[in-house]
Amino acid sequence: MRFRWTYFGISVVAATAMAISVANAQLPTAAMPFGPNALVFDPSIPVADMQGQIDRIYAEQQHAEFGPGRYAILLRPGDYKLNIPIGFYTQVLGLGGSPDDVHIEGDVHVDAASRNDNATTTFWRSAEGFSVTPPGGTMQWAVSQAVAFRRMHVLGNMVLNQKRGWASGGWMADTIVDGKVDSGTQQQWISRNTEWKGWTGANWNMVFVGVDNPPAGDWPEPPYTKLTSTPVIREKPFLIAEKQSYSIVVPALRRSTTGVTWHKGKTPGKHIPLSHFYIASALRDTAATINMALRTGKDLLLTPGTYDLKEPIHLTRKGTVVFGLGFATLRPVSGEAAMMIDDVDGVTVSTVLIDAGPVRSPQLLVVGAPGSKARHIANPITLSDVFFRVGGAGVGKAGADLVINSNDTLVDQTWIWRADHGAGVGWTENLSDNGLIVNGNDVTIYGLFVEHHQQYQVLWNGERGRTYFYQSEIPYDPPTQDVWSSGSGVNGWASYKVSDEVKNHEAWGLGVYSVFRKPNVTLSRAFEVPETPAVRFHHMITVALDNLGEIKHVINDQGETTATGAQRRTPKVAEFPAP
């Protein structure tokens, strides 16, 4: 039989729930492999039926920044004529081996989530694994943090904002755009292993890694950071439909690459049949039932929903795959971690949002044990589109959000966010000391977004770390300078701290921004690093975004002071140490 669309789940909108119930009344169980809040579309389905389901989801999710809905829209290979607006916590996936196996003729778009075309809160959504021919020739992708655009083929142009309104993205990887990309008002952006006819636009910090046609010009005017090749990467796992079955592809590890993985039609990698996955549901599963399945050797597919966890999900087996759909959300509720990964080869975790619970967790995700010595050069642990949130949807508390102890770990886009707005937000309410702590050696991160934590946003203790693109706002809400200081005579906590003992570290394309809400609060330096020849930082900028406070120096005692109002300055340091 042909697989047809499925959409069944719990909606906060009564009309949506009623429509879902009616629509699914006759669906066979075999057509529902991915559980609640998942749709599977097939080209044989009437367009009006598919469009109706898409519109119902968007009506619920368009403004649901902290809402409970989690959705995945899955497109089996073929051609579609659809209009797909993508709202909060919505993932749209093509199920072909190549993005060109699934083609949409129509408007796939992300609109600004706030008034006045403001996309600075347009978070938590993705488009992956299909091709699109946009009406009028241009696809609008007005986004900010925690948004993935992967394995895509745009048969036209792209614009990364809405009518020149503010935007604070963003991320693009393993993608071809036949025309030009207009970044416009985007404050910062990272493109990795992408191809296009051209790129226009620059603001504060634009990073291009493994891009075969990067734009002309160099830092600081325009603020372009360009690296010819990507040193080491495993692309994010993806789901494919094969006749009546499904598989998840874990792409092969690649080194020194430029451009996309799928020029020959398919991305090289290991195919794992869906039968090898435990398909978890937030309506029935606990950490205990998930861990039981993992102990039998199963991989894990998390269907859309929020999983309240009384103990960590524990990954102990080499090569375990955790595949999230629809921004599946893990929320620890008993003061423990949401997930722990043993120091083993080849674990991959993708498309998961970890949301701190009301009882303080010392860590939210731990990769490897403290003091890990094993090397994973040939088969590293990889985190792709793993995001963190403390507060916003409710009170959340954590010590450190992500702790990496394992050597050679790869992180391919993360946003580690202590909320600055929403519910349960305040200096004494949503508590989080650090966003990221790296203790392992040879850890590589592409697309590191870390914001508003109460001490160091990033604390890097391991050797030979590499960061390609960094975006950080320091906390808005320190009430006084006295309570926000990392040491005698130091105002605040540096955003990015490399420990004094580290001998080798390198980072490219970094921006740190301040939005202080209380008077007489300042930051001494954005970056604090040991002054040794093999600790090297390239292309840094600081900006004061409001009318209070300042950042005194960019890195250590170098770089001018930010200024606000009519005297606004955006200090830059091209190289540290200076050549």
For the annotated catalytic residues, the residue numbers are: 473
Asked if residue 120 lies in contact with residue 96, where contact means CB atoms within 8 angstroms, the answer is: no
28 preceded by a cis bond (ω within 30 of 0): no
Tokens describing residue 332? 């620890």
376 CB contacts (<8 Å, ≥6 apart)?
A: 345, 346, 406, 407, 408, 409
Q: How far apart are CA 420 and CA 433, in angstroms?
A: 14
Q: How far apart are CA 532 and CA 503, in angstroms?
A: 7
Q: How far apart are CA 154 and CA 176, in angstroms?
A: 6
Q: How far apart are CA 234 and CA 255, in angstroms?
A: 9
Chain-centroid distance of CA 105 in Å reads: 27
Q: How far apart are CA 356 and CA 324, in angstroms?
A: 18
What φ, ψ does residue 32 adopt, rounded to 5°? Answer: -125, 60
Amino acid at residue number 124: W
97 CB contacts (<8 Å, ≥6 apart)?
A: 240, 249, 262, 265, 266, 267
Q: How far apart are CA 476 and CA 473, in angstroms?
A: 8
Q: Indicate the DSSP class of residue 99.
A: G
Q: How far apart are CA 41 and CA 51, in angstroms?
A: 10
Comparing CA positions, the residue from 195, 145, 149 lying closest to residue 170 is: 145
DSSP-based three-state secondary structure for 403: strand
Radius of gyration of the chain (CA): 22
Q: How far apart are CA 127 and CA 108, in angstroms?
A: 9
Reduced to 3 DSSP states, what percent helix, strand and coil does the chain have, rounded to the nearest 5?
A: 10, 45, 45
Tokens describing residue 170? 């963003």
Rounded to 10°, the helix 47-61/14-24 angle is: 150
Whole-number Cα distances in Å, 212 to 176, 252, 334, 495: 11, 20, 48, 32
3-state SS, one letter per residue, for 172-234: EEEEEEEEEEECCCECEEEEEEEEEEEEECCCCEEEEECCCCCCCCCCCCCCEEEECCEEEEE
Q: How far apart are CA 37 and CA 47, in angstroms?
A: 19
Beta bridge partners of 249: 238, 271
